[in-house]
Structure 1
């Protein structure tokens, strides 16, 4: 019991790390083979082409590669093992399973037939994890554990955009373009061949200094305007933070059988409530219900920022939250958690006092010793400057 209480004190700093990781969503990569000769197009015309795209049906395969620059998570789960005494959520629950896409490389099969039918399958050797949406039914099935998760009525009344497959190049592109403004440079940088399709390369870069984002590159299908590949690069260089793209794609209508599912005999099925998402939101700290401003739905919310103080604008937006409680001392944490926190946390000091910056290649978070949290896709110095300004 004492170990459980000790571990629970470190949920806040580890949750900050989780928020940083969650900003990525899902991602895939693939190499182009030869640059097609296409008519010239301006950035405005290409953006209009994306906006006018009305692709309702497709099937194909895409690869996901994510490199957040985080330390290995081995052993971290055991540090919270005592906190999962109630059994936690089933392994087939999408909220748990899809977090695997936040690191490493993965291959997925996708199929879509309008806003009411989608399927995503994560391939892992001979094992498969499938997420199927068909009308009011949402199924998730894990062949490795032979467990399934079912939710009835989950899409009822939901906006059409909220029923898109998570992490596809189009969804990622929509989020970036929606946030673009005077702080952003948008250009067309040549052409590419993606999944056998001719594509234009749209390049988006911050004009502001202090952002961790070097560029976002979107390969756009020259024929129908559908984003085929999404690459997010960090100012730190190295591998892209997010590289998401189709290796095969067909815009024809998938067979109806793609979206039907019946749990195999002997499968353990867990039923979920349609209201589960609303109930989970009630458990979030005050101010996080609407997501973090400036970083949009990558943080799981609308980005309205109610209850969170917003500092700056555009690519250098910082969200500030006052937890109202002193930060726990990492040297009191269980050794597994302490090692994780120390491996990607830098101690910093300034006019604000002292604290720790938890860093990834994209999102950094400053947790001050007096319990304030500053987080954004900005550099460590930008976070310290914001804290020093007392804003």
Structure 2
């Protein structure tokens, strides 16, 4: 399986779309010289040098390693329902709190991911031609069979932002950012360079994004997104521990425990589901119009509250791991959407009327004439765009 499949298909530890919209900003990489202060102190490098070397290091592919990643989100979403019953693998659960992912990578055909939950753990183990998915809460082991190499080809892979490397790639995509760099950070007990990217436009809700690069390998160790309204990161994903040495072979072996339910699924079935999701996402993308660029870009697409509700899962849909629906009928994303819509504030102007929601990093405006405007900008910026023809 390829690196892209490892990131995109094998692990469903998706970062919320809102966070992706925030960190998809760019680097105007000028000759910013690293300050020499404190401990540790790495050799001085400009931002240009660091970014070029980091891209070159990424081209050589991932190194054998093991470590623990932690994602922490504090978007300030209003009125969120209780997520306790959803487990750590639910996309809705990832909107708040901290979530841990353990990674072992021994090569393209030897990898393991463990997603601990509350009194449970979900593991994906790849060992040569054997691929297993273990869900401890359901006591279920699924063996994935078929042509996994074909599913790993780039044209069939569905990328999902997961790791600091993926978020770092987004930071390299567009211009228009003030850049700074220091060489005195320590992340996961390793000396690291830290690049900072800050928007110049006052209408952006982002204060800065910080990217920590390992001082030896230049592999991204951590990405932090800071909102203007908070001292702590609104979103963070990074290693808390990491070792760039080959993991022990025992990490890639798996035998279903006695009494476990054992199933078999073909990779073709799994890729078909992912393909349909990608088609829906592409359809939405084609309908969207982007106004502006960089940090203050606003997506405008035809959308109504009725369209939104039609895309939500039914209240009796089975939860991850085969668990029964929650007794209150809340269904993760659906419950979140309902809570957010109830907290929306009415707004109006020459452009019309609608309801707006602002979080620490993202604002969304749902107009009464059937438009959805979303961006990492202030509500005032959204209403300004809403008035443009």
TM interval, short-chain normalised: 0.7 to 0.9
Deviations 1:104-158 (A, max 9, x none): 0123321112344332212345532223345666543221231345543455253
Task: Return the offset for 1:309.
Answer: 1.5
Distance 2:84 2:118 in 1: 23
2:169 alignment partner in structure 1: 174
Distance 2:124 2:169 in 1: 22
2:367 alignment partner in structure 1: 368
Quick check: 1:327–1:368 contact (8 Å CA) kept in 2?
no
Q: Go from structure 1 to structure 2 and tell me whether the alpha carbon gap of 1:190 and 1:346 turns closer, same or farther (over 3 Å shift).
A: farther
Quick check: 1:310–1:320 contact (8 Å CA) kept in 2?
yes
2:75 alignment partner in structure 1: 68
For normalisation by structure 2, the TM-score amounts to: 0.72
1:141 to 134, 137, 140: 134
- Within-5 A mapping of 1:318-329: 318-323=298-303
Distance 2:132 2:140 in 1: 11
Deviations 1:51-100 (A, max 9, x none): 1224421101232211111135336899xxxxxxxxxxxx99x9x54653
Computed over aligned residues only, the root mean square deviation of the Cα atoms, in angstroms, reads 3.7
1:13 alignment partner in structure 2: none
- Secondary structure of the equivalent of 2:356? strand
Quick check: 2:304–2:372 contact (8 Å CA) kept in 1?
no
Counting matched residue pairs gives 331
Quick check: 2:21–2:376 contact (8 Å CA) kept in 1?
no
- Within-5 A mapping of 1:331-350: 340-342=339-341, 344-350=343-349
- Within-5 A mapping of 1:1-391: 19-20=17-18, 35-53=39-57, 54=60, 55-74=62-81, 97=90, 100-124=93-117, 126-134=119-127, 138-152=131-145, 153-154=147-148, 156-159=150-153, 167-177=162-172, 179-181=173-175, 183-269=176-262, 271=265, 274-279=268-273, 282=276, 288-289=281-282, 305-323=285-303, 340-342=339-341, 344-390=343-389
Quick check: 1:120–1:165 contact (8 Å CA) kept in 2?
no
- Secondary structure of the equivalent of 1:289? helix
Q: Go from structure 1 to structure 2 and tell me whether the alpha carbon gap of 1:170 and 1:340 turns closer, same or farther (over 3 Å shift).
A: same
Specify every segment of 5 or more residues in structure 1 that has no aligned partner in the other structure, as ranges: 1-17, 26-33, 79-90, 292-304
Q: Go from structure 1 to structure 2 and tell me whether the alpha carbon gap of 1:335 and 1:370 turns closer, same or farther (over 3 Å shift).
A: farther
Task: Return the offset for 1:192.
Answer: 0.7
1:31 alignment partner in structure 2: none
Distance 1:112 1:51 in 2: 20
Quick check: 1:73–1:340 contact (8 Å CA) kept in 2?
yes
Specify every segment of 5 or more residues in structure 2 that has no aligned partner in the other structure, as ranges: 1-15, 24-37, 310-327
For normalisation by structure 1, the TM-score amounts to: 0.72
Q: Return 241-250 or 108-117, whichever deviates more.
A: 108-117
- Secondary structure of the equivalent of 2:99? strand
- Secondary structure of the equivalent of 2:54? helix
Task: Return the offset for 1:272.
Answer: 5.9
